[in-house]
Amino acid sequence: MSRLATVGDNVIDVYPALGRVFPGGNTVNVAVAARRSGAQAAYLGAIGSGPDGAVVRAALAAEEIETTRMRVLDGPNAYSTIEVVDGDRIFGAHDLGVSVFRLDAADLDYLSRFWCVHTGDCSSTEDQLADLAAAARVSFDFSDRPPDYCEPLLCHVWFACFSGSHLTSDEVVDLAHRAASAGPEFVLVTEGPRGALLRTAEGEIHRVPALPLQPVDTLGAGDAVIGAVLARLMLGDDPDAALGAGQELAAISCAEYGAFGYGENLDGRWAAAIA
């Protein structure tokens, strides 16, 4: 199998200062990054039935992301407000809308046909992680969550992802080894402007620096690394090449607003987000 599925969150990222909105969310961003890196990708999640959900649906279709099991539910789509300060994104008001859902037996059967399934800490899938792991190898984005959140979940995870830009280089290595000791075969730690680290199943540490750039907007850069690394490993790249592909895609993401494009003008649908 050479397909990657993502399960969970999607949002409309609202930029009040720009008067623009963009599709996003960790698992949507990872699916797009994997597809742009050469993999076949699918997204399973819940979007709103209105025009805001249509923004997400149209972007997924444009990127040729499979959405066979995606739900379209009555109610508002999830949103998050974004402020950009010196190129770095700052999250503001947000609402989950209809995005929280439970996987059923048909979903798990569908996901068992994929090489890997990615989800994360914003997707409300924690209590079904064991079921996911029984169906397929699991990638999970822990972001910068504390140990008491991570420890009960790591045993179900094959590819663990962390955000380590707030840590020193030595602390990132220590995090990778500690996480791997709890079960994952691979541990990816994104380090923001320093680059990214990948600990392999053999215990080797691979590190690739970030490309030099002045970011416009860092939103989605870490997700771009995750999606690209997963896709390139799946397609047979060695760890250094996979990390390099991730940094290239992250640089592209940082060069524009939103996680991966498809911006639309802000209108009254998101009045609550900017009130």
Q: What is the pTM of this model?
A: 0.96
- Looking at residue 108, its pLDDT comes to 98
- Looking at residue 87, its pLDDT comes to 75
Domain-embedded: residue 162: yes
Domain-embedded: residue 231: yes
CA distance 260 to 221: 9
Under the banding of pLDDT at 50, 70 and 90, the label for residue 84 is confident
Under the banding of pLDDT at 50, 70 and 90, the label for residue 273 is low
Range of the domain at 183: 3-270
Domain-embedded: residue 275: no
Average pLDDT over residues 37-46: 97
Under the banding of pLDDT at 50, 70 and 90, the label for residue 271 is low
Domain-embedded: residue 92: yes
- Closest to 188 (Cα-Cα) out of 164, 171, 221, 169: 164
Instruction: Please give the tally of structural domains in the chain.
Output: 1
Burial of 181 (0-12, 13-18, 19+ CB in 10 A): exposed
CATH of the domain at 210: 3.40.1190.20
- Looking at residue 162, its pLDDT comes to 98
- Closest to 160 (Cα-Cα) out of 180, 144, 181, 136: 180
